[in-house]
Amino acid sequence: MSFRETEIGSIPVDWDIVKLGDLIDILSGYAFKSKDFECGGVPVIKIKNIVPPNISIEDAQCVNEKFYFENEKYRLKYNDILISMTGSNYNQMASAVGKVGKIRIKDAKMLINQRVGKIIPDESKCDKEYIYQYISTFETQYRLASSAGGSANQANISPKQIKDLVIPYPPLNEQKAIAHILSTLDEKIEVNNQINKTLEKMAQAIFKQWFVDFEFPNEAGEPYQSSGGEMVESELGLVPKGWEVGTLGDILTLNYGKSLPAKKRLEGNVKVYSSAGVTGLHNEALIHEPSIIVGRKGTIGTVYYSTEPSFCIDTAYFATQKDSKYPLILMYQLLKEIDLKQYNEDSAVPGLNRNTVYAIKIVIPPVELQNTIGVQILAIYNLIFQNIKQNEKLSAIRDLLLPKLMAGEIRVPIEDINNEIS
């Protein structure tokens, strides 16, 4: 296999290099005004909704449907590729400008906001998936962030800067073959994600059935309340006989995380959690057993579960089994059901006071019931954790293959792959 040197490094001799703008166009989003947003309606995709490799509509702001019907140009559809044109610079790659994601939600109405760009490939010249995969490489992300203007936390790139990127240009059939390998891995990851969402809904439904509707099985295996189970008055309304009313502080202790600036993190495989979830890796764990992490500052009220040793930084609280009188997985489900975001007590930077959490009133079932439902919910979450672990392995394979395929260091069997595609 022969290579030749180019301005972007070595590429196979039978590949070319081209400017991205020779293959794509970019549509900048619509400049919605604050007064346009309302509860319900059509989600507007902003920079925060680009969560690589996907587009998320969780917490998306919405506009009236009239905008959707009046602005066909800014409508989005399944498989569209979006790129952020504002973000951090290359010193903060986790939130850097230029992050990309694909819309994987079918048959949903969406609109594109300003400072988000839609990449529109000319599919007579290039494979759409190949373009997406190339832009998502770390090297390309770094090149985009490095070319951005503005401040460290408010870096900007223009459509022209994106289109001026020089990229490797294999023959179209080889682009399709490369894209097929990578997209197959992505699709398997997405299938696991969708399975996990279904499993989470199952766990939520069981929890609601037992803890809200009080339809846990009685001694005869029948739903308790609808089968005439005895209910007693409490300050929270009718509850099953034998249940108590208490506070979260009666059954849970939240511990403060520890400061760990990014510059002090050492290379390792221990996940670092903040209020925003996993924000990096370190070589040493603060917590050495399964734990719950709760957002304290910034993104408050978020709840995560770690099955492995981890490090919780000071924007979050954490709890392990010794801090919970419930089975830990049941406590995790309970905290997810409570909307902790409503307890924000800081107008400048959102903050969650531990004592406020402790004061939340709850109903507490007998221990044997806690253990029974805990076993059921844990069985569901064990399937979720298995899928997460498999996705981590698939992502590692993808991340290993991606730069090598894009540089031509690994060549794909084009005929076999194209037969598989067809």
* Dihedral of the alpha carbons of 212, 215, 219, 221, in degrees to the nearest 10: -140
Determine the pLDDT at residue 58: 83
On the question of pLDDT at 421 being above 90, the answer is no
**Residue 382, token pair as written in the block:** 């064990």
Over residues 160-187, the mean pLDDT reads: 96
Q: Which segment of 45-49, 81-85, 337-341, 376-380 scores lowest on mean pLDDT?
A: 337-341
| Cα–Cα distance for residue pair 298/108, rounded to 1 Å | 30
User: Which domains, from first to last, does the chain contain?
Assistant: 3-169 (3.90.220.20), 172-233+365-421 (1.10.287.1120), 244-360 (3.90.220.20)
Are the C-beta atoms of 90 and 150 separated by less than 8 Å? no
Mutual angle of helices 128-135 and 138-147, in 10-degree steps? 70
Give the tens place of pLDDT for each residue, 138-173: 999 999 999 999 887 789 999 999 999 999 999 999
- Reported as a pLDDT band with limits 50, 70 and 90, residue 360 is very high
- In terms of Cα–Cα distance, which of 57, 137, 47, 160 is closest to 97? 47
In the DSSP assignment, the letter for residue 106 is: T
| Cα–Cα distance for residue pair 231/224, rounded to 1 Å | 10
- Reported as a pLDDT band with limits 50, 70 and 90, residue 417 is low
Give the tens place of pLDDT for each residue, 50-87: 999 999 998 899 999 999 999 999 999 999 999 999 99
**Residue 304, token pair as written in the block:** 């995560």
pTM across the whole model: 0.87
| Cα–Cα distance for residue pair 85/94, rounded to 1 Å | 14
Other beta carbons within 10 angstroms of residue 22's beta carbon come to 13
On the question of pLDDT at 419 being above 90, the answer is no
C-alpha 417 chain-centroid distance: 30
